[in-house]
Amino acid sequence: MKEIDKLIEVSRRYGSDSRFVIAGGGNTSYKDSEKLWVKASGHALATITEDGFAVLDRSKLNPMGEKKYSADAAEREAQVKDDLAAACITRDRRPSVETSLHNAMSAKYVVHLHPTLVNGVMCSKNAKAECASLFGEDALFIAYTDPGYVLFKKVYDEICKFKKAKGYEPKVIMLQNHGVFVGADTVEEIDAIYADMLAKIGARTEEADLTPTAVCDCATEVVPAIRSMLSREGRGLKVIRVVKNALVDSFIESKAAFKAISAPFTPDGIVYCKSSYIYVAGADKEDVLKKAEAAIEKYVAEKGYTPKVIAIKNIGLLCVGDSAKGAGIIAEVFTDCLKVAWYAQAFGGEHPMTQKQIDFIDNWEVENYRRKVCAAGNKGRAENKVFIVTGAAQGFGEGIARCLVEEGANVVVADLNEVTGNATVDNLNSICKNNRVTFFKTDVTDIGCLAALVKDTVVNFGCIDAFVSNAGIAIAGDLTQMVPQKFEFVTKINYNGFFYCAKVVAPVMKAQTKYDPEYYGDIIQINSKSGLEGSKANFAYAGSKFGGLGLVQSFALELAPYRIKVNGICPGNFLDGPLWSDPVKGLYVQYLNAGKVPGAKTVEDVREYYLSKVPMHKGCTPKDVTKGVLYLVEQTGETGQALPITGGQVMLK
């Protein structure tokens, strides 16, 4: 195996292990006498390839330890940045901020990580003494030093002193409130050092309890309201991830308990979660919202940006991101902060960063660059909006979900088919940028199941911007063939199901519109052209769709005062979808068997018959319908409408 392949392998292995890496942090390197390969900024260890490493000329790096730079901090950092750029052989990759530290260690391989257990020691009050006790004098302890050149120079000088005193270099360098560097000439030795390190710390600590605990049902209205508070007045749509487990509960039980985690422990904590957080406890839902609104507005007025973490007793940690990906990273990083605080209790108690140290990180150009890289992503028409799409595991619903994902939406695939639904989610997440897709097993005829869907969506995303009621079924048959049981089954899914969906989502949307005067919510039923005109030998389906448009208009009148739009979309036939083309139970087969198309002898005859009825001579597609969905969501002047997308087959009078 080539050395670069070994570096890639060890990087991916540690980068994929949550015990060592949170939110893609840490960096790795390999060096020979002439060159240094080090992780470039913006690349995650878990998925890194050779293109993810910057290559630098060591002959230009080596003098930096002895070089005299400006006494002015800003000028000095600019000079160091220029020297690193001059040493870069790969000009298209910005080397890790810790590049000079990697070069200062002579070991061939250096793996710098932020293991939670290690930071439980390094972010404790007794960090220096515990470091010596656990790892002996051969581990070099570095008291907290601002990152950048100052930290590099401190480590460089301490390595020189260590080497002069002992005749060899340290293989382990512990950085207070930061992490650990491990260097060795083989990957196997690095593995052994890390394994020994975690075993020794683990023997002194009790594992943090991350057992999920129940989120209060009130969250379904409280969290969406807070999302609206955070997103108002041009602040941009936010996404919220709610985290609640036994560890979280222990820290949000009271304001006094929360104080232990009210300041960051590491630079990464500041980069992703900022440096101050909001805690709210109230007597009831209205009290919580009143206190939360006052705290958020005060926070924004003082700091100029919205909070990243809001702790609400009985509900959990609200991790607020500028995207679903961002909210997920904040949840991961802040949960790690809780674990660090928990483990620190075994080593004298927690030791957060000082305000001076925090201010440096907040204003450091390198960390601002990392924030920009994290936030980068293309914007779509549905960016950061949250959609529930029922019946989205396959067919028309899957196509709508896919098109929404491509436009930047976060989508909940709500479907009864769990196996296909999960496969669809995996597939859709593979094309996501900063958005995210989840699955929830859903029976639209069960109002309790739908209530659970709504709550799960709020916990994962913080809101519901649009509910697309797409789940439906068609069973063809004339009056002599149709039995009551089948008629009732079609009605229950297509008609009753839409009523249930609107009923459970309306309170969430009311909470959202109440706290943002510019916000509109959307309930959209994917109806049918059969909801606009009768359908021979298909009356069960047509009747349920006609009824659906009655519900659309009635719900629209009721919810208009709350700025919740309710509309229907009436697609033409999705002639290439499984509803039509399934060889066993598709509508082509059903209609052929029911004699619905006069003279038709084959499935192809049925298909051609339906194509001939469309002036534009094309079937309706999920992309066509999604354009209609996006139009209805974007406009604010229409509600109670039935939007036909039929290729001209049905024209409104």
Do the Cβ atoms of 358 and 268 come closer than 8 Å?
no
Whether 541 is a known active-site residue: answer yes
* Rounded Cα–Cα distance for residues 493 and 290 (Å): 39
Q: Which CATH superfamily hosts domain 3-202?
A: Class II aldolase/adducin N-terminal domain (3.40.225.10)
For residue 553, count CB atoms less than 10 angstroms from its CB and return exposed for 0-12, middle for 13-18, buried for 19 or more: middle
Phi, psi of 262 (to 5 degrees): -85, 0
% the chain with pLDDT above 70: 98
Give 581's pLDDT tier (boundaries 50, 70, 90): confident
Residues near 386 by beta carbon (within 8 Å), at least 6 away in sequence: 239, 409, 410, 411, 412, 457, 461, 462, 463, 464, 465, 466
* Residue 375: predicted pLDDT: 55
Do the Cβ atoms of 4 and 26 come closer than 8 Å?
no
47 has a pLDDT exceeding 90: yes
What does the DSSP assignment read for 581-609?
Answer: H-TTTSHHHHHHHHT-STT--SHHHHHHH
- What mean pLDDT do residues 549-558 have? 98
* Rounded Cα–Cα distance for residues 149 and 69 (Å): 9
* Residue 373: predicted pLDDT: 52
Phi, psi of 269 (to 5 degrees): -60, -40
- What mean pLDDT do residues 340-367 have? 89
Residue 343 is classified by DSSP as: H
* Rounded Cα–Cα distance for residues 464 and 509 (Å): 7
Tell me: the pLDDT tens digits for 113-136? 999 999 999 999 999 999 999 999
Task: State whether residue 235 is helix, strand or coil.
Answer: coil
Token look-up 């996501």 returns: 432
For residue 62, count CB atoms less than 10 angstroms from its CB and return exposed for 0-12, middle for 13-18, buried for 19 or more: middle
Phi, psi of 59 (to 5 degrees): -65, -25
- What mean pLDDT do residues 616-634 have? 95
What mean pLDDT, rounded, does the chain reach?
94
Give buried/exposed letters for 170-207 (b at 16+ CB in 10 A, else e).
bbbbbbbbbbbbbbbeebeebbebbeebbeebeeebee
Pick the CATH number of 219-375 from 3.60.140.10, 3.40.225.10, 3.30.300.30, 2.60.40.2140: 3.40.225.10
Least confident of 295-304, 320-329, 365-374: 365-374
Q: List the chain domain ranges.
A: 3-202, 219-375, 386-573+620-645, 575-613
Tell me: the pLDDT tens digits for 490-506? 999 999 999 999 999 99
What the block records as the tokens of 556 is 């629209």
Give 82's pLDDT tier (boundaries 50, 70, 90): very high
* Same fold for the pair 3-202 and 219-375: yes
Give 229's pLDDT tier (boundaries 50, 70, 90): very high
Do the Cβ atoms of 490 and 474 come closer than 8 Å?
yes
Give 594's pLDDT tier (boundaries 50, 70, 90): confident
* Residue 596: predicted pLDDT: 87
Give 587's pLDDT tier (boundaries 50, 70, 90): confident
Task: State whether residue 299 is helix, strand or coil.
Answer: helix
What the block records as the tokens of 131 is 């470091």
Catalytic member of 541, 588, 591, 610: 541
Pick the CATH number of 386-573+620-645 from 3.40.50.12280, 3.40.50.300, 3.40.50.720, 3.10.580.10: 3.40.50.720
Measuring CA to CA, how many Å separate 637 from each of 113, 565, 624?
53, 9, 21
* Residue 536: predicted pLDDT: 86
